[in-house]
Amino acid sequence: MNGKLPYEVPTEMREFAERSVDQARKAFDGFMGAAQKAVDSAHGSAETARLSTHEATRKAIAYAENNVAAAFELAQKLVKSKDLTEVMQHQSEFLKAQMSSLQSQLKEMGAAAHDAAGQAADAASKAAETVTKAATKPR
């Protein structure tokens, strides 16, 4: 030998280091599992939002079609009107019907937006809860 003493790591220290590495690995695995769950939850939330947006778009198009059809119907009635009184009557009926329709449409769209926001908030809350549980879970 060259005069140096061989260095030996005490058994207790080696065991302690091994336990520390195992605990760190378990903690990391738990964190990665929670992160994956959060990603899955976010994906589900995004899919829900996409479907909600798609449904809202379909409703908006249906509303537009109904409104345009009502306008054409009014135009046809106006063309066939015999006098100004009949024109005013058709116009008044149209406005009342459209105001009622608009009120109904806004109510439906508001409810749909409220539901979508609630679903998104629930999904975000669940994802945060999953991550928090994983982060605070004793190892």
**Quick one: pLDDT at residue 117?**
79
In a domain, 110, yes or no: yes
Question: In 3-state terms, what secondary structure has residue 123?
Answer: helix
**Quick one: pLDDT at residue 124?**
72
**Quick one: pLDDT at residue 4?**
67
Quote the CA–CA distance of 8 and 123 in Å, as a whole number.
Answer: 53
Q: Which residue has the tokens 């009502």?
A: 70
Q: Which residue numbers in the chain have pLDDT < 70?
A: 1-7, 9, 41-46, 131, 134-139
In a domain, 96, yes or no: yes
Instruction: Give the pLDDT confidence of 55-86 residue by residue, as tens digits.
Output: 888 888 899 899 999 999 999 999 998 999 99
In a domain, 5, yes or no: no
In a domain, 6, yes or no: no
- Could you give phi then psi for residue 137, rounded to 5 degrees? -65, 125
In a domain, 36, yes or no: yes
CA 51 vs. chain centroid, Å, equals 9
Containing structural domain, residue 112: 13-136
Per the structure, the count of domains in the chain is: 1
Token pair for residue 96?
A: 């009342």
Half-sphere exposure of 83 (CA within 13 A, CB side): 1
Whole-model pTM: value is 0.56
